[in-house]
Structure 1
Amino acid sequence: MHYRPDILIIGAGISGITCAKKCREYNLDYLLLEKSNRIGGRVGSIYKGGYIFDIGFQVFNTSYDFTRSLLDLDQLNLQFFKPGALIYDDEKFNIISDPMRDLRQIFNTLFSRVLTISDKLKILQLKYSLKNYLIENDITKDKDTLTFLEDYGFSKKLINNFFLPFFSGVFLEKKLRTSSKFFKYVFSKFSSGLACIPAKGMQDIPNNLLKKINNDTIKYESEVKEIITESEVKLTDGQIYRPKKIILTGDSQFLISKKDIKYNSVKTLYFCSDNKPINSEYIHIFPKEPYINNIAFLTSVSRQYSKNNDNLISVSVIESKISDIDLITHVKDRLVKIYGGNFNFLKYFDIAKATLYQPVNYFNQKSYKNNNIYFSGDYLVHGSIEGSVLSGIKVLDDIYKNFR
């Protein structure tokens, strides 16, 4: 393996893999360094005991057009959640669906106790106003998501019983202080696309992106210690690379900026059960539960998430001040109370870096480069798989245009 590539990419998350794919497309000599033993960064899965445990509850959206263009969709075999959500309120579930895509649920949506007539009209109005929405074209004054929803005129009932718990589960922060521009982006994507998962887990997305990339161009368990100069990189094992260009992806930007990217955290608990409730193809959200934010019956969407002839359930907890043992016990008791049947605890993830923290005016920041050092990652575009891919595409287009 040589030590003087044209491009040295640090980090094999989604943006790093995208950079590698574009290097190959542009016929540039490159090397991709990854400090762990797997690719994908925050997107991934663990395969154990006949189950697929995604590293936190994650979904792909079919309206991620740039990402789709890089994927082999036939191989991914995407499996779809039903559009909308099942809301647990006062010991009863209510469906909020998109009646224009799921006509079977039009009665439930139109007569849901969560929605007023005004709310229904405003949801349709917002959906059509955000068609083809792009954050970079939005010149309106930014505000937090909660303020945006209140100013738009949605009822407190809908905000508290749907928007707060649903988008808390997307942003992974419970007060909806996330920039309204990111809310508008996410809302537009859910309106035009479908939430789904690869049949064999979210790890298949980075694995799929990596197809056709030569294994000799990836080096695992290779952590960068320091950027000595703009053309010299030293690893923790003492090895030195001297590339023409350096791309720092994701958190590796700290090597130059010395500033941490801010994230939202989440705890994800997995259970198995013999019980498969009706409407389990929806994401279930819980506006009044102290700990449970949302639940997904993953095997109702893809049977391959379990080889054990049972059902695999993912539970997301955004805030918890009790011990892990008490949290597991509490969640298990609530699952039995809500759904009935038996639930057995399987696995627990405490994810400190789950989603980007994107407050008001977050998108005023500009992308950054330092001569031969370039930066890539969703934090430079928006916090999503699509944002990671877009960032990788943009930085390689820039490098190729100016390559010497």
Structure 2
Amino acid sequence: MPSLNAGPPPDVLVIGAGLAGLACARDLRSAGIDARIVEASDGVGGRMRSDRYEGFVVDRGFQVFNTSYPQVRRRLALRELRLRPFTPGVLVHTDHGRLRFGDPTRGPRRLSALPAREVTVRDLLALGVLSARDALAPARVLKRAGERTTWTALAAAGFSDGFVETFFRPFLSGVFLEDELETSSRVFHLVWRSMLRGTLCLPTAGIGAVPALLADALPPGALHTETPVEQLTDGGALLGSGTEIGARAVVVATGPAGVAALLPGVEVPPYRVVTTYYHAAGASPLGEPTLLTDGRRRFLNTCVLSDVVPGYAPAGRSLIATSVLGTDTPGRESRVREALAEAYATGTEGWEPLTVRTVLDALPAMAPPQPLSRTTRVGPGRYVCGDHRATGSVQGALASGARAAREVLRDLGR
């Protein structure tokens, strides 16, 4: 790989090789700008990475890939990811048994028959109206709608408390990493729309294949890993090695800690923390690629990843991922395993605790008022991008990187 100091200094230095930084650099390079990325870690993707661990594919926290995002469709050749889909629906473990909520337009399984106290005909009608509106309405209509919390929006849409507690709260807690349904209603409607219009999948090689595919399109010398930045300077940035790199513009595309260190004073929202427990078992406790949530809220969701992508586990083994809010604490894994035994209706004593992944900056909080996009320009020649400047999603991160590139090009007269 050519040295970062080889030749003249770059026009733009992008700090961070997550989705936002990769999108920004690719757009700048496409416009003829010499943009180079420096990344402190040994690979691309930021939070969106996969590891090989004892023969298993372990994503750094449970993640899914949504094919309907506009930025995804524009930037990625999806066939190269060899996507494997989840079942279009969700299972919910409740005190009354396991309930299936499915999309009848995508398969033979219909919405489960539920006890009357948990769902009513009014709930089913409200779900149909909500889903039809969100799926068919142009995105700009949803973006311009009035804003409130998700809980308030669901109540206004006519859902009973029982239905919200049985279905929406367990499911959306795993989507937004908060269990109070306080996320902006505009964000909820846009995410609901994307789920109805797209397919939730996993790449065969792990979620890290997504940023890797973006990085593969960069020319040699444009990306430099294991290159931390110490601080920004008047003319560029000072690397951890003590070398200063000049640039006409600097884009900070790191996580919240990096933004705070390099651009003090730039506001970053609080982030949600999530921990994912990975267990290995001899056989799948479910036998289908379906997400399972817990109506008792002891965990966010669980999934047999090897039912979705068999290659996530060695032959004859199964990989189960279960996520909870917050950090790992003493005794928590055993309590989670007890809940899983009940939810999967099987013994878990023989399950091997494989590894634990805690993501401290998993998703930005998105309570109202939540801007759907914010300028990336924070000063002369200084820009910042990431999902915290848009919405907490792959779409938000990519769109923020794209916006940073547009604003840099405008300021450079291009």
TM-score category of the 2 structures, normalised to the smaller one: over 0.9
Which position in structure 2 is the counterpart of 1:310? 317
Cα gap change, 1:65/1:303 in structure 2, threshold over 3 Å: closer, same or farther?
Answer: same
Alignment partners' CA distance in 1, 2:279 and 2:28:
41
Alignment partners' CA distance in 2, 1:210 and 1:327:
37
Is 1:287–1:293's contact at 8 Å kept on the other side of the alignment? no
Alignment partners' CA distance in 2, 1:25 and 1:271:
43
Alignment partners' CA distance in 2, 1:137 and 1:125:
14
- The alignment partner of 2:300 has SS state of strand
Which position in structure 1 is the counterpart of 2:399? 390
Is 1:50–1:308's contact at 8 Å kept on the other side of the alignment? no
How far off its partner does 1:398 sit? Answer: 2.9
Alignment partners' CA distance in 2, 1:351 and 1:319:
9
Which position in structure 2 is the counterpart of 1:181? 186
Q: AA paired with 1:40?
A: G
Any residues of structure 2 matched to 1:393-404 within 5 Å, and which? 393-404=402-413
Matched, 1:61 2:69: no
Alignment partners' CA distance in 2, 1:75 and 1:47:
20
How far off its partner does 1:91 sit? Answer: 5.5
- The alignment partner of 1:275 has SS state of coil
How far off its partner does 1:139 sit? Answer: 3.2
Any residues of structure 2 matched to 1:188-207 within 5 Å, and which? 188-207=193-212
Which position in structure 2 is the counterpart of 1:296? 303
- The alignment partner of 2:216 has SS state of coil
How far off its partner does 1:315 sit? Answer: 0.4
Alignment partners' CA distance in 2, 1:136 and 1:126:
14
**Among residues 243, 248, 259, which one is paired with 1:253 in the alignment?**
259
Alignment partners' CA distance in 2, 1:24 and 1:93:
51
Alignment partners' CA distance in 2, 1:13 and 1:338:
35
Q: AA paired with 2:131?
A: K
Is 1:268–1:316's contact at 8 Å kept on the other side of the alignment? yes
Is 1:9–1:32's contact at 8 Å kept on the other side of the alignment? yes
How far off its partner does 1:214 sit? Answer: 2.6
Cα gap change, 1:39/1:400 in structure 2, threshold over 3 Å: closer, same or farther?
Answer: same
Is 2:76–2:214's contact at 8 Å kept on the other side of the alignment? yes
Which position in structure 1 is the counterpart of 2:47? 42
Any residues of structure 2 matched to 1:65-80 within 5 Å, and which? 65-80=70-85
Which aligned runs of 4 or more in structure 1 are off by greater than 4 angstroms? none
How far off its partner does 1:135 sit? Answer: 6.5
Deviation string, structure 1 residues 304-346 (Cα, Å, up to 9, x no partner): 10124211000011157xx734111122233334431432110
- The alignment partner of 1:141 has SS state of coil
Alignment partners' CA distance in 1, 2:104 and 2:193:
16
Deviation string, structure 1 residues 119-169 (Cα, Å, up to 9, x no partner): 111111111222355368633332111111112210111100111010000
Any residues of structure 2 matched to 1:2-401 within 5 Å, and which? 2=5, 4-90=9-95, 92-102=97-107, 104-106=108-110, 109=111, 111-113=113-115, 114-131=118-135, 132-134=137-139, 138-229=143-234, 231-251=235-255, 252-254=258-260, 255-258=262-265, 259-278=267-286, 280-289=288-297, 291-319=298-326, 324-339=329-344, 340-341=346-347, 342-363=350-371, 366-369=374-377, 370-401=379-410
- The alignment partner of 2:194 has SS state of helix
Deviation string, structure 1 residues 151-210 (Cα, Å, up to 9, x no partner): 221011110011101000011111111111111111111111111110111010010111
How far off its partner does 1:68 sit? Answer: 2.5
Is 1:44–1:203's contact at 8 Å kept on the other side of the alignment? yes
How far off its partner does 1:279 sit? Answer: 5.8
- The alignment partner of 1:363 has SS state of coil
Q: What TM-score do you get using the length of structure 2 for normalisation?
A: 0.90
How far off its partner does 1:375 sit? Answer: 1.9
RMSD over aligned Cα atoms: 2.0
Alignment partners' CA distance in 1, 2:270 and 2:59:
22
Aligned length: 397
Unaligned runs of 5+ in 2: none
Unaligned runs of 5+ in 1: none
Q: AA paired with 1:111?
A: A
Q: AA paired with 1:354?
A: A
Alignment partners' CA distance in 2, 1:355 and 1:276:
29
Alignment partners' CA distance in 1, 2:286 and 2:276:
23
Query: Percent same amino acid among aligned pairs?
Result: 27
Is 2:91–2:293's contact at 8 Å kept on the other side of the alignment? yes
Q: AA paired with 2:113?
A: F
Q: What TM-score do you get using the length of structure 1 for normalisation?
A: 0.92
Q: AA paired with 2:180?
A: K
Q: Which moved more, 1:125-134 or 1:298-307?
A: 125-134
Is 2:372–2:390's contact at 8 Å kept on the other side of the alignment? no
Q: Which moved more, 1:377-386 or 1:127-136?
A: 127-136
Q: AA paired with 2:325?
A: I
